Amino acid sequence: MTRPVSRKRLHTLVTGVLNTTPLVDLHTHLYDPALGPVLLWGIDELVTYHYLVAEVFRARPDFDYDTFWRLSKTEQADLIWRELFVLRSPVSEACRGVLTVMHHLGLETKVKDLKAARRFFAKQNVRGFVDTVLAGANIKRLYMTNDPMDPLEAPGWQQKFDRDPRFLGVLRLDSAIMNWPDGATRLRAMGYPADDGLTGNTISQLKRYLNDWCDRFDARYMAISLPPTFRYPDTHSPVTNLMVKAVFPVARERGLPVAMMIGVKKLTNPALRLAGDSVGRSDIDTVEALARDFSDVRFLLTMLARENMHELCIASRKFKNITPFGCWWFLNNPSLINEITRMRLETLGLSFIPQHSDARVLDQLIYKWTHSRALIGEVLTDKYADISATGWVPTKAEIARDINQLFDISL
């Protein structure tokens, strides 16, 4: 009988494979560097990330929102650094992430100000820094979030440019179909004469828009963030009708997955701007009904409420066209990544996508993947130790096979 191996030995095998295997990041808010300033990077962008904006108002509740937004980016970063990294220990995951990036880049972390970090970044150029970050995070490909209606991003797509093959296109749907009929106005402005009502012409024009921009982006999937109030079936909801009559049929015809990120409550506190969104529990019956009624559409699904994650695991056991992915937004904390990854492995085996970065600043790839690799490595080690105790001892090749199955996402 094969003897079980020690946990220490298994951990060495797992982390060795996980740390040296280039991974694929399924969902980011990053952009091909050829698109220009929409790709955010550098110390001031890193420190003024919206997680830290929300946190600084916890530290300084006396500080006025409008006063903060009137500050320059540099002044905002200096304020956040002083309040969260100098006057207090930076123990939150968002603060720790900044320190992880700085440490990886060879910058001192326990400093009074950001002068040295700014000097370092002033010497970088965007394409070289993209290479540095992707190598540091060991990411071979990532999926963007591309919105043709974004006034900052759209101009870049009006001209031809050489695509960086590591940055894959994704068509974001929110601007086109959320808050209808705002989307109809935007469609008309782009040459798609949709009606405000959900007419046959509107559906036809929306489909034309979807197909045109899937072609332009070479989109590998379509994606949308949805509120916890999203329901299907719902004949009165414009969003549900547009998804059912236009998005899903186009996805079916093109063989594209649809990623739905469900559970965000937009601008609960508008004064915080991007940092003002919150979370609500969503309806798993909607997920199951969609998977059942559109069985020929692949759904990439993540949910924002911790309470929904167990329900999503069980729904995924019942519907092969549901693929859970990542620990999104407010779930991207070590304790919750640990819990959710264990639950998925125990419930679904290897048939899910453990993590995505959701990075909005290029540099964040370093910390999000450094932290996630370590957490996922611990969970995988425990699971291999469990089966090793029965005599089923995994080899290095089998561990590599499993990690590639989890992370080598080709859509």
Given a cut of 70, whether residue 384 has pLDDT beyond it is yes
Q: What proportion of the chain, given as a percentage, has pLDDT over 90?
A: 97
Q: What per-residue confidence (pLDDT) applies to 410?
A: 82
364-388 vs 7-20: helix axis angle to the nearest 10? 140
Residue 68 lies in a domain: yes
Query: Counting runs of H as helices and runs of E as strands, what totals does the chain give?
Result: 19, 10
Averaged pLDDT, 32-36? 96
226: exposed, middle or buried (C-beta count within 10 Å: 0-12, 13-18, 19+)?
buried
Q: Residues 183-216: pLDDT tens digits?
A: 999 999 999 999 999 999 999 999 999 999 999 9
Spatial separation of the C-alpha atoms in residues 287 and 162, rounded to whole Å: 38
Question: How would residue 116 be classed by pLDDT, with cut points 50, 70 and 90?
Answer: very high
User: Which of 15-24, 94-103, 402-411 comes out lowest in average pLDDT?
Assistant: 402-411
Count of CB atoms situated within 10 Å of the CB of 58: 10
Within a domain: 253: no
> Rounded to whole angstroms, how far apart are CA atoms 131 and 123?
15
**The model's pTM:** 0.97
Distances (CA, A) of 367 to 76, 113, 317: 21, 20, 31
Rounded CA separation 283/224 (Å): 16
Is pLDDT of 249 > 60?
yes
Per-residue pLDDT reduced to its tens digit, 313-353? 999 999 999 999 999 999 999 999 999 999 999 999 999 99
Residue 83 lies in a domain: yes
Count structural domains, the chain. 1
> 132-185 pLDDT, tens per residue?
999 999 999 999 999 999 999 999 998 889 999 999 999 999 999 999 999 999
Q: List, for residues 49-92, the tens digit of each pLDDT value.
A: 999 999 999 999 999 999 999 999 999 999 999 999 999 999 99
What are 227-241's pLDDT values in tens digits? 999 999 999 999 999
* Span 26-36, average pLDDT: 97
Q: Is residue 49 part of a domain?
A: yes
CA 154 to chain centre: 21
Helix, strand, coil % over all residues of the chain, rounded to 5? 55, 10, 35
Q: Provide the mean pLDDT of the chain.
A: 97
Question: Do the domain assignments include residue 224?
Answer: no
pLDDT of 346 reads 98
3-class DSSP assignment, residue 153: coil
Specify the pLDDT at position 256.
Answer: 98
Distance CA 303, CA 321 (A): 16
Question: Is residue 268 in some structural domain?
Answer: no
pLDDT at residue 361 is higher than 80: yes
**61 falls within a domain:** yes
Is 54 a domain residue?
yes
Question: Strands 264-265, 278-279: parallel, antiparallel or unpaired by DSSP?
Answer: antiparallel
pLDDT tens for 269-291 read: 999 999 999 999 999 999 999 99
Confidence tier at 4 by pLDDT (50, 70, 90): confident
Q: What is the pLDDT of residue 16?
A: 98
Instruction: Look up the domain containing 70 and give its range.
Output: 43-123
Q: Is 192 left (phi over 0), alpha (psi -120 to 50) or beta?
A: beta
Residue 1: pLDDT over 70: no
Residue 77 maps to which CATH number? Answer: 1.10.2020.10
